[in-house]
Structure 1
Amino acid sequence: MFYVSCCSYLAPEYFMYGKMNNKIDVYAYGVVLLELLSGRKPVNSESPKAQDSLVMWAKPILDDKEYSQLLDSSLQDDNNSDQMEKMALAATLCIRHNPQTRPTMGMVLELLKGDVEMLKWAKLQVSNPLEDSMLLKDEKLRRSNLQSHLNLAFLDMEDDSLSMGSMEQGISVEEYLKGRTSRSSSFN
């Protein structure tokens, strides 16, 4: 399960292009923020496929700005709606599909600290649907593409023993994914 959970923090562009950059860390931090808000794991291992992604679940809620629907039931009674909103705004910006439209970690820090100008900027960014329409006009296609990349990453990851076996053998993520993709003629 370690491998599957670890992959949940990787940005879509890592699966598409295999390139690392600091915007991948920003994406991972967005997933961590979603975990803190929702109390959910990055991958729902209780689903039939064990592939239900926290990001895929949260994205429609964030897009609709229904932040209270994200909250873990143990947080529902707390009167920290301002902090919850800042975390949700930060998560929304961090998990953007297009890495160029994600904030820097410094910007995320300022937002979480409550910087008034950064909060205004974040609200403007979240209310501007340009980011999604720039990448792909059809929202369903965009989510479908993200899900297909997650499915590729989780290929044959149906039980914990397989994922632990890869880790025990010392196989890196890159080597494992190379082995997975080389079996498919669509990647040759």
Structure 2
Amino acid sequence: MPGNLIGKGGSSQVYQGCLPDGKELAVKILKPSEDVLKEFVLEIEIITALHHKNIISLFGFCFEDNNLLLVYDFLSRGSLEENLHGSKKNPLEFGWTDRYKVAVGVAEALDYLHNRCAKPVIHRDVKSSNILLSDDFEPQLSDFGLAKWASTTTSHITCTDVAGTFGYLAPEYFLYGKVNDKIDAYAFGVVLLELLSGRKPISSDYPKGQESLVMWAKPILNGGKVALLLDPSLGNNYDPDQIERMALAATLCIRRAPRARPKMSLVLKLLQGDAEVTKWARLQVNASEGSDMLDDEAFPRSNLQSHLNLALLDVEEDSLSMSSIEQSVSLEDYLQGRWSRSSSFD
């Protein structure tokens, strides 16, 4: 069975399985605890309410040998992360057309979650390893283990336990535990930067201060020098209009202030080539960035240090929580992209 392991998270492992008729499946096994049981029930509750071509389908679930099992369809090409950065990386196979197809498909999935399903959902863990690809690179958003029902009565909900993946965490969520659909938009912006640049969200392979994809890309995007951002493996094999639209979408999605980020419905229209929305996006990007600041005074700062420490925690799991935090880092160092334990980002 270890040979069939295809992924693992903080409290789960995912194995490839096969039915007698040959159908391939992905089996997520969770080690039960009181919290995990609640997450298991919520994940089933949410995923069974969703029906969209770009969202993974739940095949079944069970409780067996003191293990919680979720069974999903298996997608042959693996994750976007594997195809961009890992074992399945092949620039000749995964070119610009398919990258753009992935971007549009994931935008459709998020627009559906936020605006078009009966009860809005916040995914909370949008990242390239949670975007699975079919044979023809049709994406499916997966892993709803951290997902929450969105509040329909307040502008946001506040989580005392910040969970997610460093490099994709929106500042207001990372610093203050503030959650609404704009945290998914931010994480999607990071995914767009991965598709454009071929770089990981966090990597110690780059010079000091450039380990963070967002911090490296922002000045390039703000300076209008998108060509400097592009994955060299693309060569000249891309559509310049699509590059512009994806760069505009990424620029708007990774803005620090949640109010400055667009709704996913607008991001989708932008990626689909809507002329009016493209014009609007150009104006937004060219407008002053002065308002793009977090509303610090609106939030208590008491937990700021522990939230910052979370990002620097040297862990193997890709899902983080606010437990066992030991390391100390200053806000100034974090914002300037300086980390004292860059080895944890390998």
Q: Give the TM-score, by structure 1 length.
A: 0.73
2:134 corresponds in structure 1 to: none
Deviation at 1:37, TM superposition (A): 0.2
Q: Which amino acid aligns with 1:153?
A: L
Counterpart among 325, 330, 335 of residue 180 in structure 1: 325
Aligned equivalents of 2:232 and 2:243: distance in 1? 13
Q: Relative to structure 1, is the Cα distance of residues 50 and 120 closer, same or farther in structure 2, using a 3 angstrom cutoff?
A: closer
What pairs up with 1:35-184 in 2 under 5 angstroms? Answer: 35-47=194-206, 52-129=211-288, 132-136=289-293, 152-157=309-314, 163-164=315-316, 167=317, 173-176=320-323, 179-180=324-325
Deviation at 1:90, TM superposition (A): 0.2
Q: Could you tell me whether the CA contact under 8 Å between 2:310 and 2:321 is conserved in 1? A: no
Q: Which amino acid aligns with 1:133?
A: G
Q: Which amino acid aligns with 1:28?
A: A
Q: Which amino acid aligns with 2:188?
A: Y
Deviation at 1:180, TM superposition (A): 2.2
Deviations 1:74-133 (A, max 9, x none): 22312411100000000000000000010011100000000000000000000001xx31
Deviations 1:55-77 (A, max 9, x none): 00000001101111110012231
Query: SS of the counterpart of 1:45?
Result: coil
Does residue 33 (structure 1) correspond to residue 205 (structure 2)? The answer is no
Aligned equivalents of 1:23 and 1:109: distance in 2? 14
Q: Could you tell me whether the CA contact under 8 Å between 1:23 and 1:99 is conserved in 2? A: yes
Aligned equivalents of 2:306 and 2:232: distance in 1? 30
Q: Relative to structure 1, is the Cα distance of residues 135 and 85 closer, same or farther in structure 2, using a 3 angstrom cutoff?
A: closer
Q: Relative to structure 1, is the Cα distance of residues 47 and 67 closer, same or farther in structure 2, using a 3 angstrom cutoff?
A: closer
Q: Relative to structure 1, is the Cα distance of residues 150 and 128 closer, same or farther in structure 2, using a 3 angstrom cutoff?
A: farther
Aligned equivalents of 1:133 and 1:32: distance in 2? 25
Aligned equivalents of 2:210 and 2:321: distance in 1? 20
Query: Higher helix proportion, which one?
Result: 1
Deviation at 1:42, TM superposition (A): 0.5
Q: Relative to structure 1, is the Cα distance of residues 99 and 38 closer, same or farther in structure 2, using a 3 angstrom cutoff?
A: same
2:171 corresponds in structure 1 to: 12
Tell me the number of residue pairs that the alignment of Structure 1 and Structure 2 aligns.
Answer: 157
Q: Relative to structure 1, is the Cα distance of residues 174 and 156 closer, same or farther in structure 2, using a 3 angstrom cutoff?
A: closer
**1 or 2 for the larger relative contact order (CA 8 Å, sep ≥6)?**
1
Q: Which amino acid aligns with 1:18?
A: G
Aligned equivalents of 1:173 and 1:74: distance in 2? 32
2:112 corresponds in structure 1 to: none
Q: Could you tell me whether the CA contact under 8 Å between 1:10 and 1:24 is conserved in 2? A: yes
**Which structure has the greater CA radius of gyration?**
2
Aligned equivalents of 2:243 and 2:307: distance in 1? 27
Aligned equivalents of 2:207 and 2:245: distance in 1? 33
Q: Relative to structure 1, is the Cα distance of residues 67 and 94 closer, same or farther in structure 2, using a 3 angstrom cutoff?
A: same
Deviation at 1:19, TM superposition (A): 1.8
Query: Higher strand proportion, which one?
Result: 2
Query: SS of the counterpart of 2:178?
Result: coil
Q: Which amino acid aligns with 2:321?
A: E
Aligned equivalents of 1:42 and 1:79: distance in 2? 22
Deviation at 1:7, TM superposition (A): 1.2
